Amino acid sequence: MPFEVSFLSAFLIGLLGGVHCAGMCGGIVGALSMGLPEAQRRGGRRWAFLWAYNLGRISSYTIAGALFGGIGWMAANWTGVHQLQQGLQLVAAIFMVALGLYLGGWWHGLSRLEALGGIAWIRIEPAGRRLLPVVSPRQAYLLGLVWGWLPCGLVYSVLVWSISTGDPVYGALLMLAFGLGTLPNLLLMGIAAASLAAWVRDRRARRIAGSIVILFGIYSIFRWFTQ
């Protein structure tokens, strides 16, 4: 699949995955927003903090994409098995189907990946706690950098895709596109948390989003077998 199409797909998966992002991270961003000093919550100041939180989070996704893309590159070049990258592309497509099932609430196997990620999160989370309370956009950005490593099956699924690119630059850009896709939902969550929470709990919204992501995965599997 052309990389330009992959970037668009990653963005759309981030956007569709908003039903998961808002459910998992919406409470965090809502609490951070409401926890700001009164003076900081007035007018456009709140937006500055929300942008900073989310840009920090997306920066972490981009760094992770570069790392995992580099892992894919090393695996293919150091082993000398260049077909390995193609195999990873199939694995990424299967993960996409699994992600759709997860988003739709039909299968929760990806929660096991989140549990594994929790082992690393125990060591990372204290760094975020030291940044509280947040009193400046710079501090909010740093907290967002920590927040970006929160265990998340949605993020892990796209990271598998980053490995399959076999390139740290494309891996980073893929995760950047995904992160930008998650941005609208989480920005709005900081302003209208109650309204969006009701939408996230709507089973139909989750199933529609999950079904579309499953179709992405099936299409990618079909392309793999016909390339």
Provide the residue type at 116 as one letter: L
Range of the domain at 134: 3-81+109-200
Tally of domains within the chain: 1
Nearest to 220 by CA among 118, 109, 103, 98: 98
Q: List pLDDT tens digits, range 172-206.
A: 999 999 999 988 877 776 555 545 555 556 678 78
Q: Is residue 218 part of a domain?
A: no
Mean pLDDT score of the chain: 82
The reply to whether 39 falls in a domain is yes
**What average pLDDT does the segment 32-51 reach?**
69
Determine the pLDDT at residue 28.
64
Contact by Cβ (8 Å): 67, 191: no
Residue 121 lies in a domain: yes
Cα 79 to Cα 158: distance, rounded to the nearest angstrom: 23
For residue 7 the two structure tokens come to 């970037």
Residue 192 in any domain: the answer is yes
pLDDT digits (tens, 9 = 90+) for 146-178: 989 988 888 998 999 999 888 999 999 999 999
| Structure-block tokens of residue 64 | 């992770």
172 assigned to some structural domain? yes
DSSP string, 45-106: HHHHHHHHHHHHHHHHHHHHHHHHHHHHHHHHHHH--THHHHHHHHHHHHHHHHHHHHHTTS
Query: Token pair for residue 23?
Result: 């459910």
At 2, the pLDDT band (50, 70, 90 cuts) reads very low
Q: Check pLDDT > 70 for residue 121.
A: yes
68 has pLDDT over 80:
yes
| Confidence check: pLDDT of 27 > 80 | no
Could you tell me if residue 101 is inside a domain?
no
pLDDT value at residue 32: 66
Position 217 in a domain: no
Contacts of residue 146, defined as CB under 8 A and 6 or more positions apart, other chains included, come to 56, 60, 124, 125, 127, 128, 131
pLDDT for 3 equals 44
Torsions phi, psi of 116, nearest 5? -65, -40
223 in any annotated domain: no
